[in-house]
Amino acid sequence: MKVYEKSHSFYEVFERKSGPAKEATHYCPGCGHGNVHKMIAEALEDMELTSRTVLVSPVGCSVFAYYYFDCGNTQAAHGRAPAVATGVKRANPDSIVISYQGDGDLAAIGTAETIHAANRGENITVFFINNAIYGMTGGQMAPTTMLGQRSTTTPLGRQEHVHGNPIRMCEMLSTLPAPTYIERVAVGDSKHVMKTRKAIRKALKIQAEGKGYSFVEILSPCPTGWKMDPTVARDWLMDEMTKVFPLGVFKDESDNVDEGSWDREFKPFDTDQVNAYLDRLKTSMTEGAQVTLKEDLHCKFAGFGGQGILTLGLFLSQIGMRAGQQVSWFPAYGPEMRGGTANCSVNLSNERIGSPLVDEPNVLVVMNQPSLDAFEKTVPDGGLIIVDTTIVQGKPDTDRLNAVMIPASKIADEVGTPKIANVVILGALVAATGAFTPEYCMETLRSVIKKKNLVEMNMEAFRRGYDFVKNQ
Amino acid sequence: MTNNAAVDAPFMEVNAELCKGCQLCVGVCPKSVIAISDDLNSASYHPAYYTGADCTGCGLCFYACPEPGAIKVVKP
Amino acid sequence: MAKQFMKGNDAIIVGALAAGCRAYYGYPITPASEIAHAAALHFPALGGVFIQAESEVAAINMVYGTAGMGIRTMTASSSPGFSLKQEGLSYCAGAELPLVVVNIDRGGPGLGNIAPEQADYFQVTKGGGHGNYRLITLAPNGAQEMCDLTMKAFDLADKYRNPACIMADGITGQMMEVVEIPEAKPVPYDHTAWAVDGTPATSKNLISSIVLEPSELEEHNLKLDAKYREIMANEALCEEYRTEDADLIVVAYGVISRIVYSTVDQARAEGLKVGLLRPITLWPFPSEAIAAHAERDMRFLAVELSTGQMVEDVRLAVGGKAPVDFYGRCGGMVPEGAELMNQYRQLMEGVVRS
């Protein structure tokens, strides 16, 4: 015995629907949404997918799809259903996610979401109800309204040079490599209704098998918006709409795609796994003795990009961190960095650090002339200024400031490469401030320098900078 | 199914209260065994009804009908 | 060592991972992009989700999808991108979804610039999208707090089923500090009763923000309002430094609070009794803590990287009981300590020095 009746994937009574008539839909007589709903519900039931289905309903007449489908329902903002569907599917690849959308939703306000979900090959199914009009808001022009078709915002009919042409989503989407299945069908006469039923089932099967993105555009009548009797609307759908929106399969890779090939991995939260991972993010530095600073260091390091200015700041910061001090490092960021100059502010303190910005550095390193010109005056009297004399021609005010004039780039070049002038400077800085012992710093550098073959060269550079100051 | 024996001929039935009178079922019926009632239902529609004989149980009216619960077709 | 030296923006992701966040959806924008970079590295490595969305709008709606499953998820952006997320945040608040959104505030209006600002305060704390709703908003002022308050934001979001926001500035995002790496602990919330996650256990649930009947929507709004009042009563947080006897209490959050902190001792050394009150939650605003000081003879100064936004909440809290002045810089200009000291001196002219 064969019984055609209301699918069990529908609620028995539509309790979420307001008002009376809780067993009837809110759709107008002859509306195509109901047909499509019935065929989706039937497919979900037959394929035993209902209880793991999430139906994402759009804004438009089908905003209330959640009244009817007895599955998980998530209602989305206008046009955003494919993004919402992505958020659901990625976080539960075993779910069956349907993005059910009308033409305004999918092909106007949500065009970007539509195209990009398709382009990512989201393993979701999109059912696109194209009725060439905005139904819910009162019969305005849709992106799919046909030329000459009257609507409340095209009272004289849609005109190409004023309103643009009806947009063909299947054709557009089928240019993308990722989608697995794209077909346009119509709920017109019986033959095409049954073709629609087949397409709906196929699309859901593709998703259930992990074969990727499926998109079924369904030409559907809106007798109210079109101001036609339901039977006339079905005829007009087949006679006129299909001329602009030709029916057929635009893309079908379902036989060429392996099952599960579009399934994505998702692991739920596992504290052991996360803690093991977070362990790896911890510093590679060995434990070091606490060091109390005689005086807080408020440093400004400045020079050209590529001189290792920011790294100099990082090295000093990491020494401070190992020594149990409060540390902050702040780079000049953004377009400044792309202009070829670089500077950073570094604070090392025994106490909590206030401003991470260093306006008045008690240690200034300058590795180019503009930095000397810009920052020398910001150093308070008696402050330390370290100048790379290989590069900087000018002289700071040695009456006012404690100056270390060191040919850091030249020394670095002798050691192996001018790129480690910053480490020479670091050695000089440590010697001039007496903040740490050289051994403490070198031990720290050993554990933070990632390229182990460069460690010894850096040790040498540090030592040369340190000795340069100590031997003065 | 307990009523198998009782049902020996295919039939369709319309839930008159859920029918919105769109007449799509009337148009698709190959045997023209569906008609529109002169009566009004409580939503003020003229509902469809089965004229009572010759239904083949093809189900086309079921798929043509937009209402989930308005039409039931039984084919023994 | 259980520490790492890291950028505030990276610390946000460390906090998110430890909090059990499993999906990140974002769009590039300076100065928030490092958050996406870190997410792109770490989330997939842990079997979580990272998607660079086609737009900020798509990103927040992907968050809506995952948040609706009761799974911890987040997005991050900077001012212009945060503006684009307002539609989605309104839907998330309406549907009562827990999630975290980060706004690394930059210069505006419009494209503005990428320098630090705090001019999104109104947008963040007053509900930047349509309808009656609020974002729980936390304002870290250093890398450790970027991590810790992100974890707290996830907890508050779950506790109240409401979006929570981390509001920081470009400096707090870009600067590196020592961060104690936290320990991940199980999430103590079960969302099966309302979430829609594509399993039979939740298949009767609905995620939605549409309530067609005016009487029912009013009821829904009143329910949200009651929740917001509960949050206001329970969750306001601030930090105070030398405020007990202060003649001038400076109210500042984020990076500016750090600069003010630097000046408090300095001012005291000059005989100016200055204190700092730093809102850690911007919404709920620590109004009671502020009002408590207004009972004695003193005054307030709100310092912000804006033309004056939080100052309105300070004035509301004080209710006219004490003078409230404002000093701000904007467009990416950040006041130096000396500049603030001048403000204090001017305001306290005539005040007897101790």
Measured CA to CA, the distance from residue C113 to residue C200 in angstroms comes to: 49
CB neighbours of residue C185 within 10 Å: 13
Which member of A90, A97, A328 has the closest CB to residue C177?
A328
State residue A332's pLDDT score: 84
Per the domain annotation, does B1 fall within a domain? no
Q: Which of residues 292-331 of C touch A (CB under 8 A)?
A: none
A34: distance to nearest CA of chain B, Å?
4
Judge: C5–A275 Cβ closer than 8 Å, yes or no: no
Kindly state the average pLDDT of the residues C292-311: 97
Measured CA to CA, the distance from residue A406 to residue A356 in angstroms comes to: 27
Judge: A269–C187 Cβ closer than 8 Å, yes or no: yes
Higher pLDDT, C38 or A451: C38
Measured CA to CA, the distance from residue A23 to residue A26 in angstroms comes to: 10
State the Rg of chain A over Cα.
35
| First and final C-alpha spacing in chain A | 105
State residue A292's pLDDT score: 94
* Per-residue model confidence as pLDDT tens digits over C46-61: 999 999 999 999 999 9
State residue A450's pLDDT score: 87
Judge: A32–B66 Cβ closer than 8 Å, yes or no: yes
Share of chain A above pLDDT 90, in %: 93
**Does C214 reach chain A within 8 Å, measured CB to CB?**
no
Establish, for the pair of chains A and B, how many residue pairs have beta carbons separated by less than 8 Å.
101
Kindly state the average pLDDT of the residues A58-71: 96
Single-letter code of the amino acid located at A279: D
B30: distance to nearest CA of chain A, Å?
10
State residue C342's pLDDT score: 96
Per the domain annotation, does B5 fall within a domain? no
Per the domain annotation, does B69 fall within a domain? no
**Structural domains counted in chain B:** 1
Kindly state the average pLDDT of the residues C95-106: 98
Judge: A30–B59 Cβ closer than 8 Å, yes or no: no
Kindly state the average pLDDT of the residues A32-37: 98
Judge: C73–A87 Cβ closer than 8 Å, yes or no: yes
HSE-CB of A341 using CA atoms within 13 angstroms: 12
For residue A33, list chain B residues with Cβ-Cβ distance below 8 A.
66
State residue A338's pLDDT score: 53
What does each C-alpha distance from C45 to A190, A264, A276, C41, C48 come to in angstroms? 51, 13, 12, 7, 7
Residue with tokens 């009162």: A138
Q: Which of A119, A445, A168 is nearest to C51 (CA)?
A: A119
| Collapsed DSSP state (helix, strand, coil) of residue C83 | helix
Judge: A269–C22 Cβ closer than 8 Å, yes or no: yes
Q: Which of C105, C125, C126 is nearest to C114 (CA)?
A: C105
Domains annotated on chain C, with CATH? 3-234 (3.40.50.970), 238-347 (3.40.50.920)
Judge: B68–A33 Cβ closer than 8 Å, yes or no: no
Q: What is the mean pLDDT of chain A?
A: 96
CA angle at residue A260 from A256 to A261, to 5 degrees?
55
For residue C47, list chain A residues with Cβ-Cβ distance below 8 A.
265-267, 273
Q: How sure is the predictor about B68, in pLDDT bands with cuts at 50, 70 and 90?
A: very high
A134: distance to nearest CA of chain C, Å?
19
Residues facing A400 on adjacent strands: none
State residue C72's pLDDT score: 98
For residue B43, list chain A residues with Cβ-Cβ distance below 8 A.
21, 24
Q: Which positions ≥6 away from A343 have C-beta within 8 Å?
A: A300, A301, A302, A303, A309, A331, A332, A371, A375
State the Rg of chain B over Cα.
12
Per the domain annotation, does B29 fall within a domain? yes
**Does A197 reach chain B within 8 Å, measured CB to CB?**
yes
* Per-residue model confidence as pLDDT tens digits over A103-114: 999 999 999 999
The pairing of beta strand A341-349 with beta strand A326-331:
antiparallel
Measured CA to CA, the distance from residue A134 to residue C274 in angstroms comes to: 62
Q: What is the crossing angle of helices A438-448 and A421-433, to 10°?
A: 150
Chain B interface with A: residues with Cβ < 8 Å: 1, 4, 7, 15, 17-18, 20-24, 27-28, 43, 45, 57, 59-60, 62-76
Which member of A6, A31, A41 has the closest CB to residue B66?
A31
Which member of C5, C46, C72 has the closest CB to residue A318?
C5
Residue in chain A closest to B63 (alpha carbons) equals: A35
Cβ pair C280, C253 in contact under 8 A: yes
* Per-residue model confidence as pLDDT tens digits over C206-229: 999 999 999 999 999 999 999 999
Cβ pair A32, A193 in contact under 8 A: no
What backbone torsions phi and psi does residue C128 show, to the nearest 5 degrees? -75, -20
* Residue C353, pLDDT above cutoff 70: no
What backbone torsions phi and psi does residue A371 show, to the nearest 5 degrees? -70, -35
Question: A176, A264, A270, A283: which to substitute to probe chain C, counting the most C Cβ within 10 Å?
Answer: A283
Measured CA to CA, the distance from residue C14 to residue C30 in angstroms comes to: 20
- Residue A147 is given by DSSP the state B
Q: Of the given ranges (A208-222, C37-51, C261-275, C339-353), which has the lowest mean pLDDT?
A: C339-353
Per the domain annotation, does B6 fall within a domain? no
The pairing of beta strand C136-138 with beta strand C281-283:
antiparallel
Per the domain annotation, does B53 fall within a domain? yes
Give the domain range for residue B27. 11-64
Q: Which of residues 103-132 of C touch A (CB under 8 A)?
A: 114-115
* Residue C354, pLDDT above cutoff 50: no
Q: What is the mean pLDDT of chain B?
A: 93
State residue A333's pLDDT score: 59
State residue B29's pLDDT score: 97
**Does C66 reach chain A within 8 Å, measured CB to CB?**
yes
**Does C184 reach chain A within 8 Å, measured CB to CB?**
yes
- Please name the residue ranges forming H helices in A245-323: 271-281, 309-322
Residue in chain C closest to A321 (alpha carbons) equals: C178
State residue B2's pLDDT score: 45
Tokens matching residue C135: 């974002």
Per the domain annotation, does B4 fall within a domain? no
**Does A228 reach chain B within 8 Å, measured CB to CB?**
no
Higher pLDDT, A387 or A335: A387
Cβ pair A67, A16 in contact under 8 A: yes
C323: distance to nearest CA of chain A, Å?
26
* Residue A184, pLDDT above cutoff 50: yes
**Does C43 reach chain A within 8 Å, measured CB to CB?**
no
Q: How sure is the predictor about C351, in pLDDT bands with cuts at 50, 70 and 90?
A: low
H or E element at residue A222: none
Measured CA to CA, the distance from residue A380 to residue A400 in angstroms comes to: 8
Measured CA to CA, the distance from residue C273 to residue C196 in angstroms comes to: 55
DSSP per-residue string spanning A306-351? TS-HHHHHHHHHHHHHHTT-EEEEEE--THHHHTTEEEEEEEEESS
Domains annotated on chain A, with CATH? 32-252 (3.40.50.970), 283-470 (3.40.920.10)
* Per-residue model confidence as pLDDT tens digits over C174-184: 999 999 999 99
* Residue A4, pLDDT above cutoff 60: yes
What backbone torsions phi and psi does residue A60 show, to the nearest 5 degrees? 140, -170
* Per-residue model confidence as pLDDT tens digits over C120-156: 999 999 989 999 999 999 999 999 999 999 999 999 9
Tokens matching residue A28: 């107008």
User: Do the two chains A and B touch, given a threshold of 8 Å on CB pairs and at least 3 pairs?
Assistant: yes
Single-letter code of the amino acid located at C9: N
Per the domain annotation, does B20 fall within a domain? yes
State residue B75's pLDDT score: 96
CA angle at residue A423 from A422 to A429, to 5 degrees?
90
For residue A274, list chain C residues with Cβ-Cβ distance below 8 A.
17-18, 20, 46, 184
- Please name the residue ranges forming H helices in A103-189: 103-104, 111-119, 160-163, 169-173
* Residue B5, pLDDT above cutoff 60: no
Establish, for the pair of chains A and C, how many residue pairs have beta carbons separated by less than 8 Å.
260
Kindly state the average pLDDT of the residues A189-196: 98
Judge: A282–C199 Cβ closer than 8 Å, yes or no: no
Q: How sure is the predictor about B1, in pLDDT bands with cuts at 50, 70 and 90?
A: very low
* Residue C350, pLDDT above cutoff 80: no
State the Rg of chain C over Cα.
21
Q: What is the mean pLDDT of chain C?
A: 96
CA angle at residue A307 from A306 to A310, to 5 degrees?
85
Q: Of the given ranges (A11-25, A75-89, A152-166), which has the lowest mean pLDDT?
A: A11-25
* Per-residue model confidence as pLDDT tens digits over A159-169: 999 999 999 99
Chains contacting C (3+ CB pairs below 8 angstroms): A
Kindly provide the ipTM of the predicted complex, given to two decimals: 0.96
For residue C62, list chain A residues with Cβ-Cβ distance below 8 A.
83-84, 86-87, 90
